[in-house]
Chain A
Amino acid sequence: MTGVVGALVEAWEELRLHRLRVLLSLVGIALSVTAMTTVLALGRITGQAQEEMSDRSMGRQTTLTVSAFPAAATSSSVDVVPAMRALVERYEVTYSSVVVSTNGRFRAAGATFDTQLSLVDPAYGTIHRVQVAEGVWFAPADVDRLAPALVVNEAFMRAIGSPPLASHPVATIPGPRPVTTVVIGVVPDLSPYDMPTAYALYDAYTRMNGAPLLDPEMGYVPTLELWVPPSLGEEGLQAVRSDLTGALGEGTQVDVWSNDVPGQEGVSRVFESVVLGVGFLLLFLGALSLVNISMVTVRQRIREIGIRRSFGATSGRVFVSIMLESVVATAVAGLVGVGLAVLIVRNLPLEAWLGFTLQDQPAFPLSVALVGILAATAVGAVAGLLPATVAVRVRPIDAIRY
């Protein structure tokens, strides 16, 4: 115990004594660690951004999309949604949503306009990471509203005269029995050319308006999205297909596909390996200058090492002390480097660059920070090896007279 503490104290005293030399020799190491950890961390954040962008359009990993429609019909009179709901209950899927994309028509502020209309369940927001710019996304209780709730895009809001959301703007679905809907949330447009788009809850909409217009030719068919664990695999996919086919009869075309993108992890690993490789190369170059300085310093300290041997320092202790000086110094440089990287990553205008807010803002990856510190420490150990060996090889009596 005292041996370890003593060696550490000795190393720390040396570093304190030669702080300017140490500082200068470690700048390279700290900057290398900063560069490596920053790129690795940005890589992780970019990966997260890519994943979230993919989730927005295709649903989270892994989302199964199930579609069903009569094989021989041009328009459906068979309601497949109850069978889909039964499927969800049977498989106890926590997050699932019926999705029907169709045309909608609304009247507001004295004008009637056509929109894209998506009929969904509340969990759609979770599956697709929907972010509202204003208001809220659907809650399960919204199904029971007498005036169905709408979440619309900004183009829709412009079409109804851009009323403030706090005024509970309404839009009417025209028809023999007009239905008044209330806008509760606004999602941002994806481009300036977006046409008005609205989301409504499937159950609330059909209760008021009956089944929506379905047209397999146009792709207007109900689909069911199931957010499932990636481990479900091909077997689960087949089970869902055969289960729903069994429920709807052989005359129904049931398709199931997964948004699972294989190979993404492999690509990330290759990227990280390349960055780590470059980082280690940088650190190695830093280590060379560290070895150079350490060698000169040890030669200047030969007499001191001899004096310490007269105090009872074993050759092992001298070796460990010289090694520790290098290791402690580079570990501190690694810490500083990682600290700098954290500051850089936290202060980069990532959201402005990405164009959206990351929903699951990844913390600075702990593993990356550890890799940075460990790499710096390892470099310190390697750089300390040569001077430590030189220090040990000198005989105490020669060292004292040096």
Chain B
Amino acid sequence: MHGVTRTVRLPDLTELHILRGVDLSVEPGEHISVVGRSGTGKSTLLNILGLLDAPTTGEYRLDGEDVGRLGARRRARRRGEGFGFVFQQFNLLPGRTALENVTAPLLYARGRAFWRRRDLAAEVLERVGLGDRLESMPTHLSGGEQQRVAIARALVRSPRVILADEPTGALDVDTGMEIMTMLDTISTETGAALIAITHDLAVAALARRHLRLADGVLTPADGPAAAPSSPAPAVAALP
């Protein structure tokens, strides 16, 4: 993406500039971390990257195609085929088993992937170590297991890019690291790019490329241990 901005008009008619000219290029298989304070536009950036939101100005090209020119239908299709989302609160569909949750994205797939959806979902759940919990309800799974179901769901359509929004935010440190390591390993194996937003520097350290978003501007971070410009107390306390 090049020169991407995102501006929203507030109820008092003033404009809030969330992103100010973001430039970002992502290659297949890359693992990128984006750190930044709350409210600096990290989630907005992720939403634009995942085609859930559109930039106010600027250019966003996906495999060379200007997605700004795509209609809503094509954007939705590109989103489903190209991106897998992992959310902080897991966002599993309530009342559905682990298998049904992972099957859900394949309801929007076509051809073989649609008709074989249960087999494919079971395979991916097996891969994230939940082969024996296929029929478990989310309420009967631990936080780490729920996030693994969410990762399986993000991976089931073999996306080009995995977008993880604070994927370890609701997990303890050990489980969080375990989940991120798994995400990193699987994305590397599948050749998918992984873009993770995080406050956790240890999680950010797993990435090969480190970016910081501050006041709507995306800049390279100094290194794996680089902290957000104004870290939260918990983050600041880390070594």
Would you call A314 and B52 a contact (CB within 8 A)? no
Known: A307-B93, A310-B52, A400-B52. A10 touches B107 (CB 8 A): yes
Would you call B105 and A312 a contact (CB within 8 A)? yes
Q: Please tell me which stretch of B76-84, B166-174, B193-201, B202-210 contacts chain A, meaning at least 4 of its Cβ atoms lie within 8 angstroms of it.
A: B76-84
| Inter-chain contacts of A17 with B (CB < 8 A) | 95-96
Q: Which of A297-313 contact B (CB under 8 A)?
A: 303-304, 307-313
Q: Is B175 an interface residue (CB 8 A)?
A: no
Q: Which of B80, B94, B107, B110 has the most CB of A within 10 A?
A: B107
Instruction: Give chain B nearest CB distance to A229 CB in angstroms.
Output: 55
Known: A2-B114, A303-B91, A316-B73. A311 touches B108 (CB 8 A): yes
Q: Is B47 an interface residue (CB 8 A)?
A: yes
Q: Is B60 an interface residue (CB 8 A)?
A: no
Instruction: Give chain A nearest CB distance to B112 CB in angstroms.
Output: 10
A313 to B47, CA, bound (A): 15
Would you call A397 and B111 a contact (CB within 8 A)? no
Number of inter-chain CB pairs below 8 Å: 66
Q: Which of B91-117 contact A (CB under 8 A)?
A: 91, 93-96, 100, 104-105, 107-111, 114-115
Interface of A is mostly: helix
Instruction: Give chain A nearest CB distance to B113 CB in angstroms.
Output: 9
Would you call B95 and A310 a contact (CB within 8 A)? no
Q: Is A317 an interface residue (CB 8 A)?
A: yes
Would you call B94 and A304 a contact (CB within 8 A)? yes
Q: Which of B47, B80, B87, B115 contacts A312 (CB 8 A)?
A: B80
Instruction: Give chain B nearest CB distance to A20 CB in angstroms.
Output: 12
| Inter-chain contacts of A397 with B (CB < 8 A) | 47, 52-53
A244 to B14, CA, bound (A): 100
Q: Is A59 an interface residue (CB 8 A)?
A: no
Instruction: Give chain B nearest CB distance to A314 CB in angstroms.
Output: 4
Would you call A313 and B52 a contact (CB within 8 A)? no
| Inter-chain contacts of B78 with A (CB < 8 A) | 312
A312 to B107, CA, bound (A): 10
| Inter-chain contacts of A309 with B (CB < 8 A) | 52, 76, 79
Would you call B110 and A2 a contact (CB within 8 A)? yes
A222 to B203, CA, bound (A): 109
A contact residues, total (Cβ < 8 Å): 25
Instruction: Give chain A nearest CB distance to B19 CB in angstroms.
Output: 14
Q: Which of A377-402 contact B (CB under 8 A)?
A: 395-397, 400
Question: Nearest B residue to A308 by beta-carbon distance?
Answer: B104
Question: Nearest A residue to B100 by beta-carbon distance?
Answer: A13
Q: Is A315 an interface residue (CB 8 A)?
A: yes
Known: A311-B104, A313-B80. A396 touches B52 (CB 8 A): yes
Instruction: Give chain B nearest CB distance to A93 CB in angstroms.
Output: 62
Q: Is A6 an interface residue (CB 8 A)?
A: yes
Instruction: Give chain A nearest CB distance to B155 CB in angstroms.
Output: 12
| Inter-chain contacts of B47 with A (CB < 8 A) | 397
Q: Mark A280-312, 1 if CB is under 8 A from B, else 0.
A: 000000000000000000000001100111111
Q: Which of B77, B100, B107 contacts A314 (CB 8 A)?
A: B77
Q: Is A109 an interface residue (CB 8 A)?
A: no
Q: Which of A2, A10, A396, A397 has the most CB of B within 10 A?
A: A2
Q: Is B13 an interface residue (CB 8 A)?
A: no
A313 to B78, CA, bound (A): 10
Would you call A6 and B81 a contact (CB within 8 A)? no
Q: Which of A309-359 contact B (CB under 8 A)?
A: 309-317
Instruction: Give chain B nearest CB distance to A392 CB in angstroms.
Output: 11
Would you call B79 and A312 a contact (CB within 8 A)? yes
Q: Is B16 an interface residue (CB 8 A)?
A: no
Would you call A310 and B72 a contact (CB within 8 A)? no
Q: Which of B76, B83, B100 contacts A313 (CB 8 A)?
A: B76
| Inter-chain contacts of A2 with B (CB < 8 A) | 109-111, 114-115
| Inter-chain contacts of A310 with B (CB < 8 A) | 50, 52, 79, 83, 85
Q: Is A9 an interface residue (CB 8 A)?
A: yes
| Inter-chain contacts of A311 with B (CB < 8 A) | 80, 104-105, 107-108
Instruction: Give chain A nearest CB distance to B169 CB in angstroms.
Output: 14
Would you call B93 and A304 a contact (CB within 8 A)? yes
Instruction: Give chain A nearest CB distance to B77 CB in angstroms.
Output: 6
A307 to B95, CA, bound (A): 14
Would you call A312 and B81 a contact (CB within 8 A)? yes
Q: Which of A13, A303, A313, A315 contacts B108 (CB 8 A)?
A: A313
| Inter-chain contacts of A308 with B (CB < 8 A) | 104, 108
Instruction: Give chain A nearest CB distance to B222 CB in angstroms.
Output: 31
A6 to B157, CA, bound (A): 15
| Inter-chain contacts of A396 with B (CB < 8 A) | 52-53
Would you call A6 and B50 a contact (CB within 8 A)? no
A-B contact pairs, 18 of them (CB 8 A): A2-B109, A2-B111, A3-B110, A5-B114, A6-B114, A307-B91, A307-B93, A309-B79, A312-B78, A313-B76, A314-B72, A314-B73, A314-B76, A314-B77, A315-B72, A396-B53, A397-B52, A400-B87
A residues whose Cβ falls under 8 Å from a Cβ of B: 2-3, 5-6, 9-10, 13, 17, 303-304, 307-317, 395-397, 400
Extra 11 A-B pairs, beta carbons < 8 Å, given A3-B110, A309-B52, A310-B50: A2-B110, A2-B114, A6-B107, A10-B107, A304-B94, A308-B104, A311-B104, A311-B105, A311-B108, A313-B108, A400-B91
Across the A-B interface, give the 5 residue pairs with the lowest CB-CB distance, nearest first: A312-B80, A311-B105, A314-B76, A2-B114, A6-B107
